[in-house]
Amino acid sequence: MAAIIETRQLTHTYSQGTPFEHTALDCVDFSAAPGEYLAIIGRTGSGKSTLIQHLNGLLKPTSGQVLFDGADIWESKERTRQVRCQVGLVFQYPEYQLFEETVYQDIAFGPKNMGLDKDEVDRRVKQSARFVGLEPGVLEKSPFDLSGGQKRRVAIAGVIAMEPQVLVLDEPTAGLDPSGSARILDNIRTYHQEKNACIILVSHSMEEVAREAGRLVVIHQGTIPFSGPPESVFAHGEELEAMGLGVPAMTRVFARLRSMGVDLPASVYTIPQAREAVMAALHRGPRKAALGLCGERKKEPADTEASAPWAEAGMEQAVSDEGGAT
């Protein structure tokens, strides 16, 4: 499938020609397909923010190209303006950018600037509010009277109201409690499913990207060393650790279990996958699996059901050794 957004040999150098010159991106080839849900991961200073700011023309390449639907986004001023409507970018802590008197007016700001008529603006405001779970009664309130999580959803709704084909979100759950984070991710998932939009999620949470994204792109020192499905990227656990990135807690737990002699796959990164893998191991050889999980015992469990408590105990021990899993 052809990419909807891509970069070719993208290089960006800050403060070029000065003593503070710094190359943040070095010949980066990146692409995302229509309807794809991918995540970009990398430690602070790796080049993540620089990359996503190129995707809708907030930054201009030092060299290389950024293409949307196969055409360079910088070929004309009109082309750049159009792309900025089609590639929506939600910055980290976007609630700090709210400024209108009411929630309705804040969400309507983008569609109005697109030159849409009043009825279309109204439709988009109400639809985007629904996508992010805002009740109709909230629309006439001041955004500054809302909770932090609600403000975040208003800011995201303002970008969604422009109906971008690509939605880029920089740490959308930063600073939120688990409930607020789950709600935001549900909202993003709903928009992805109903609009078949391409979602590009930037996150520091390995558990978050493992659950949500179908593909991971790792950025390190301005390059992309790994890109692929979560299971293939997380299989490079040692390399990721060396880059200052973690892996999901369950991936660490399973590495610990394998070091104890348990025959388990390396590509496990969520709790449902972990449960399935452990039960499959018990079905293959319950006595061996139970012994590997818990250490040798005088009486070995005779079947899978008997082995399950031992397996669970071994899982708990491994989780404890690795500092806990969420």
Report pLDDT for 273.
Answer: 81
Q: Using CA atoms, how far apart are residues 322 and 254, in angstroms rounded to an integer?
A: 10
For 248-252, the CB contacts below 8 A with 24+ separation are: 248/206, 248/207, 248/210, 249/207, 249/319, 249/322, 249/323, 249/324, 249/325, 249/326, 250/274, 250/325, 251/206, 252/322, 252/325
pTM for this prediction: 0.83
| Residue in this structure with the two tokens 């991961």, named with its chain if needed | 41
Q: Residues in the chain, how many? A: 326
How far is CA 104 from each of CA 101, 283, 288, rounded to the nearest angstrom? Answer: 9, 56, 61
The pLDDT value given to residue 323: 52
At 12-55, the pLDDT tens digits run 999 999 999 999 999 999 999 999 999 999 999 999 999 999 99
The pLDDT of residue 302 is 44
Write out residues in the chain with pLDDT < 50, as ranges.
290-291, 296-313, 319, 324-326
Q: Output the pLDDT for position 286.
A: 54
Q: What is the pLDDT of residue 289?
A: 52
**166-170 and 87-90 strand pairing:** parallel
Tens-place pLDDT, residues 270-310: 778 888 888 887 777 655 554 455 554 444 444 444 444 44
Tell me whether residue 38 is exposed, middle or buried, using C-beta atoms within 10 angstroms of its C-beta: 0 to 12, 13 to 18, 19 or more.
buried
pLDDT value of position 304: 44
Residues 250, 274: contact at Cβ < 8 Å? Answer: yes
**β-strands 63-68, 71-72: how paired?**
antiparallel
